[in-house]
Amino acid sequence: MLGLFEVLVIAFILLVVIATTRQAARKSKAEARPNPAAQSAIDVTPAGAGLFEPVTATRFIKDSLSARVPRVLLVVIRVVLGSFWLGSGWHWMTTATTTEMARRINDLLATGQSYGLIVGFAQETVLPWIGTVAFLVTVAELLVGLSLTFGAATRLGAALGMYLAFNYACLAGDPLLPVGGHWLTFFYLLPILLGAAGRSFGADYWLHRRYPRLPLW
């Protein structure tokens, strides 16, 4: 049974994916339509005329949000994170997963540093079903690693990785300020999700061309 915070995290990730996909679709349609008026304005505007124009808060935010960064810069982060998740998943595959995971969870809960919103979920759901949870976590980490490494369904892999990292951070009681522990992984995955990093040097390049409406890549 999912706790309230689990549902909220999943809903947040889904909203981010949907909003980003819709915004990208609107930009693509706008760029595809010619704008003679804008072109004429560009042609008649003297060079450097806008350098000293006053900048409003609205324009500052709009220009900041519309700035673009080459997607290829995310490839290094994507591959490094992919190897991290693959290594973690492989560790769970080659150890007494159920026993070790239960021990780690109990040790973290015993420190009293875990966020209160996850304590009840861990005690009432995770530990009683630790065998099933251990299997699901192992499979999930391997899938995240494969997704990021090969750039396949990267947005889905990044969203799943953010969900896992959120749970790990809450269980370990990692501080938000300064950002550390599993929160770093969570925030590193955010630009991977928003930037659809798998479309550069990844399988998502072909998947997006074949199924452009799906927000998975």
Q: Each residue of 145-162: pLDDT tens digit?
A: 999 999 999 999 999 999
**Is 53 a domain residue?**
no
Looking at the predicted structure, is the pLDDT value of residue 1 above 50?
A: no
Contact 141, 132 (CB under 8 A): no
Is residue 6 over pLDDT 60? no
How many domains does the chain contain in total? 1
The rounded mean pLDDT for the chain is 81
79 CB-contact burial (10 Å; exposed 0-12 / middle 13-18 / buried 19+): middle
Q: In this structure, is residue 90 part of a structural domain?
A: yes
Q: Which residue has the higher pLDDT, 30 or 197?
A: 197
Residue 11: inside a domain, yes or no?
Answer: yes
> Is 52 among the domain residues?
no
Which of 8-12, 34-38, 107-111, 177-181 is the least confident region?
A: 34-38
pTM over 0.85: no
Average pLDDT over residues 121-133: 91
Q: Is residue 40 part of a domain?
A: no
- Domain membership of residue 117 (yes or no) is yes
What does the pLDDT look like over 69-103, one tens digit per residue?
A: 788 888 989 999 999 999 999 999 988 889 999 99
- DSSP SS3 for 65: helix
Q: Is residue 167 part of a domain?
A: yes
CB distance 114 to 122 below 8 Å: yes
- Asked if residue 141 has pLDDT above 50, the reply is yes
Domain annotation covers residue 155: yes
pLDDT of 15: 63
Question: Which residue range forms the structural domain that includes residue 121?
Answer: 4-26+73-210
